[in-house]
Amino acid sequence: MRRRLLAEFVGTALLVTVVVGSGIMAQTLSPDDVGLQLLQNSTATVLGLAVLILILGPVSGAHFNPVVSLADWWQGRRTGTGLSVRDLGGYALAQVLGAIGGSVLANAMFDRPAITWSTHDRAAPYLWLGEVVATAGLVLVIFCLVRSGRTTAAPAAVAAYIGAAYWFTSSTSFANPAVTIGRAFTDSFAGIAPSSVPGFVVAQLIGCVIGLLLVHGLFGSRKPADQFSGGTAGADQRG
């Protein structure tokens, strides 16, 4: 379990470092073109996320996201597969702490104060709707792969979906409560004002529920053999 929690901490930290760091670099290289900034930011995120899932999936399942961990627990609660309640709490804590650490690291790398609270307000119904759609889609992608036995495709599929959702959702697809909290610690392109965090997290939880309902509608009740193994890339669950 210690190795799994370390993997979740490191993976989420590096993911947020990629998101925030590439956002700062994009602002520096293309200060007058927001569209180009988003392209640079999303490209770095897609590549970084795919690599992180690929290398850390065998350790913890490469959730890097409390919503994914919550969905894993929910899917396996009756069969005893997936995460336990205790595991879920540990994963969520490691992910949130990792996200904060990743944001602090990115700030420091670009010679900014370690903690700079974001002033980027993202509180609006249309943005919350974007987060519902982004998160529901993410859960749908991951658990459709799980239920169809194609978790080896997760690094490419999950990264590709997040990259696309940067562009087709109004919120630019945070789709992750831990990452949302972490991005409040940087006043940069990728930041979100602390006051906007609760609305995004609620929208993400709603999206999680919708995503799970869609998976159930498509694949029916989960069978005992349909084991998630605790992650998007088939994690080894032996302590």
Mapping DSSP to helix (H, G, I), strand (E, B) and coil, where does residue 228 land? Answer: coil
How far, in Å, CA of 8 to CA of 204, rounded? 19
How far, in Å, CA of 17 to CA of 1, rounded? 24
Burial class from Cβ neighbours inside 10 Å (0-12, 13-18, 19+) for residue 164 reads: middle
- For residue 77, the model assigns a pLDDT of 77
- For residue 223, the model assigns a pLDDT of 53
How far, in Å, CA of 62 to CA of 89, rounded? 15
Q: Is this model's pTM higher than 0.85 or not? A: yes
- Report which residue type is found at 202: V
Nearest to 124 by CA among 49, 188, 203: 203
Q: Which domains does the chain have, with CATH numbers?
A: 2-219 (1.20.1080.10)
- For residue 75, the model assigns a pLDDT of 87
In contact, 19 and 41? CB cutoff 8 Å: yes
Written as tens digits, the pLDDT of the chain (239 aa) is 999 999 999 999 999 999 999 999 999 999 999 999 999 999 999 999 999 999 999 999 999 999 999 999 998 876 767 798 999 999 999 999 999 999 999 999 999 999 999 999 999 999 999 999 999 999 999 999 999 999 999 999 999 999 999 999 999 999 999 999 999 999 999 999 999 999 999 999 999 999 999 999 998 876 543 433 434 433 433 33
- For residue 222, the model assigns a pLDDT of 60
Report the C-alpha dihedral over residues 71, 175, 216, 73, rounded to 10 degrees: 0
In contact, 55 and 44? CB cutoff 8 Å: no
